[in-house]
Amino acid sequence: MSDKTILYVEDNEYNLKIVRQLLGRTSYRLIEAMDGQLGVETARRELPDLILMDIQLPKLSGLDATRTLRADPKTAAIPIIVITSFALSGDDQKAKDAGASAYLAKPYSPRELLQMIRKLVPEN
């Protein structure tokens, strides 16, 4: 069993289900937060190996949550993949400016997401 933990900050149950199924076939441990504020609190408490961050979130946007985590020495080095369904031009730059390690637009291929995760945080 891997000790690599992935935090998925996402408020859409359908999207959560896709990632649960995807990671269920790997050795990663998945933890979840349903809004940006909870995502920041969970990241600070659990110190995951990687964070998947949706942009459109209740309470605190994914970009603001990413900035908050980057500003905290405890969480500053955790890789963050920002995921958005709003693949407008400039969103990728906004994500990078906020401190994202990588950016993925919905709809995405689960295989593509898994490749990104494994590149940033290889399984044991």
* Predicted pLDDT of residue 87: 60
Smallest CA-to-CA distance from 108 within 15, 20, 1 is with 15
The domain in which residue 112 lies consists of 5-120
pLDDT in tens, 4-22: 999 999 999 999 999 999 9
The number of distinct structural domains making up the chain is 1
Among residues 31, 25, 52, 27, which one has the least CA distance to residue 108?
A: 52
Is the pLDDT higher at 80 or at 95?
A: 80
Residue 98: CATH number of its domain: 3.40.50.2300
